[in-house]
């Protein structure tokens, strides 16, 4: 299994994975979203074995309350038929390594409250439930 940065030619496969995760997406959406992520140096990572098996998004946050940047795993999806094969673990480890290289001494994970299996997965990888996240959609005016 190969772990690498997502590329524009992955757009359709990534859109299918994001839709499976519950975020209906089309290939053109992915094509539009990748360039700003590439410019920021925060390209999602994918697992590939002839086809895309999964994807992980990550981000580096500069925070004032810690003396180092904090990494965040923003999403993880492994195709349903590929779960239980170590794909998710490999993607998390690849993202953690990338974040550590960028100076992050802590990695946080965001996960939808409805995804209980995902929470158990992260706990098995050593993540602890340390806080809750609140979200509000805002519209510029």
Q: What is the pLDDT of residues 21-31, one digit of tens each?
A: 999 999 999 99
**What local confidence, expressed as pLDDT, does residue 141 receive?**
55
**What local confidence, expressed as pLDDT, does residue 82 receive?**
95
Reading the block at residue 42, the tokens are 């925060």
User: What distances in angstroms separate CA 42 from CA 88, 89, 95, 123, 128, one per listed residue?
Assistant: 18, 19, 10, 24, 24
Assign domain 2-124 one CATH number from 1.20.1250.20, 3.40.50.2300, 3.40.630.30, 3.40.50.300.
3.40.630.30
**DSSP labels for 38-49?**
HHHT-PPEEEES
pLDDT mean over 110-120: 90
pLDDT digits (tens, 9 = 90+) for 31-64: 999 999 999 999 999 999 999 999 999 999 999 9
| CA 21 centroid distance within chain | 11
Residue 115 has pLDDT above 70, yes or no: yes
CB of 54 within 8 A of CB of 18? no
Could you give the 3-state DSSP secondary structure of residue 83?
Answer: coil
Residue 5 has pLDDT above 80, yes or no: yes
Alpha helices in the chain, H assignment, sequence order: 11-21, 27-40, 87-101, 116-124
For residue 86, the 8-state DSSP code is S
Sequence ranges of the domains in the chain = 2-124
Q: Report the distance separating Cα 59 and Cα 21, nearest Å.
A: 19
Of 16, 7, 11, 127, give the one whose Cα is nearest residue 82. Answer: 16
pLDDT mean over 88-95: 97
**What local confidence, expressed as pLDDT, does residue 1 receive?**
80
Predicted model pTM: 0.93
**What local confidence, expressed as pLDDT, does residue 140 receive?**
73
């Amino acid at each position: 299994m190969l772990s690498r940065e997502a590329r524009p030619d992955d757009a359709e496969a990534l859109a299918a994975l994001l839709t499976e995760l519950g975020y209906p997406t089309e290939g053109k959406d992915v094509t539009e979203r990748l360039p700003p992520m590439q410019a920021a140096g925060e390209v999602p990572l994918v697992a590939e074995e002839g086809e895309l098996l999964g994807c992980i998004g990550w981000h580096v946050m500069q925070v004032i309350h810690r003396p180092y940047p904090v990494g965040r795993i923003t999403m993880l999806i492994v195709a349903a038929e590929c779960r239980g094969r170590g794909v998710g673990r490999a993607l998390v480890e690849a993202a953690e390594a990338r974040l550590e290289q960028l100076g992050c001494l802590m990695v946080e994970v965001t996960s939808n409250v409805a995804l209980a299996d995902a929470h158990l997965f992260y706990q098995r990888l050593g993540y602890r439930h340390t806080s809750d996240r609140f979200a509000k959609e805002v519209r510029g005016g």
